[in-house]
Each structure stands twice: as C-alpha cells, then as structure tokens.
Structure 1
Amino acid sequence: MPRSGTDSLVLGEVIGDVLDPFIKFATLRVFYESREVINACELRPSQTINLPRVEIQGNDPTATYYYTLVMVDPDAPSPGNPTEREYLHWLVTNIPATGSISYGK
C-alpha cells in the first residue's frame, strides 16, 4: 500500500529503496538517552554507546505479536557515496509486543 508523501520514510527514500511499501500496524520509537531518533537525525558514536530504549506499540494489545528490529544505515558511509549500502548495525528478533526489547534475542 502506498504511503503518504509526507511520511519520513518516503521522504528519506527508505520506502522504495530499502523497503517495499507496507501497511503500518505498530508504532516504533527509539531513544538514546532522552533524544528520540527520527529519520535523517545524526548521532555521534559517543551518543550511542548504550543500548537505546525502544518503544513498540501495536494496534491490537490483545494479539500475540513478535517483532524483529533491524537497525541499518541505508546509505553508509554517506548519502553522496553509498558504497556500504544497508550496513547492519543491530538486530534483535522475537521481541514480544507486550515487553521490552531486552526480552528479544
């Protein structure tokens, strides 16, 4: 399903380049300390020493969902020179919808 032209994943060309269009059924928020990570934000390595806090909120709290969280850099090392495209930084699987990512594997 096409996403809105104002969606940050569309504007950042993640949808269509890294991901196929999809139907959103959960909300994901990622924080390093008190700073929320949003599309195109840059963090220094010193800001990412500790694991982030991740909040996942699905549309159906009674359903049993498990999530996979993949953190990639879609245009590493830079948008102008993406020679290491989709560099994998972090992967957590089997995250229960009702729990923390610390319950994942």
Structure 2
Amino acid sequence: FFPSLVSHMPKVEVLGGDLRSLFTLVMTDPDVPGPSDPYLKEHLHWVVTDIPGTTNATFGREIVSYEMPRPTIGIHRFVFLLFKQKRRGQTLVFNSPSRDNFRTRKFAKDNDL
C-alpha cells in the first residue's frame, strides 16, 4: 500500500479471539532510511497494548503514539505484528528515546510476548 493510506492511524481489527484475550500491536518499517541500505532498521511507528480480542486497536492502550510513515527513499515495507499477551495486566515497556533501531524480537522477548 501507499503511505497516503496510513496518513491517519489505520483501523486494525483483531478477529478470532475473545474478549478475555488481550493483544499487542506493533507497526514498524524495516527499510529505514532506504531499502538498499536500511542501517536504521527497524523504525517504530506504533505500539498498542491491551487490545481485547474481537475488537480493534482503538480499544487498546497506546504506549507509543502513531507516527505517520514518511519514506524518503525507495519503496518501504510497513509491518504490522500482533502478539497475544500471556496475561492480563501485563505491563509492557518501551524506554528508548528514539524510534530508530527498534528490535521487534527484543521487544517481544523483554515483554514476554
């Protein structure tokens, strides 16, 4: 899709779960600053936690506010990852001052996702 399609926060629906299950949504761009030399990968665009199953991301808790994609070089991939949280009341932490060099796998491991 084109960045113009996500100039506003996208509506992400969680289907197939139940209201007792909670999910965490992560949106990243692994191609920053450009796909041929993505030395800043990944760039974090959005994190929403505590999304109840069968609802959408607006029902969750935004821990990293949505940042509209603004690719400057080449075609970028925007990746949405959905993790099922292991327990209710799970506190997720993101303490980096920068959205660049985000590591989804490390975030998932550090937060027991």
Indicate the structure whose relative CO is greater, using CA pairs within 8 Å and at least 6 residues apart: 2
Determine which structure has the larger strand proportion and give its number. 1
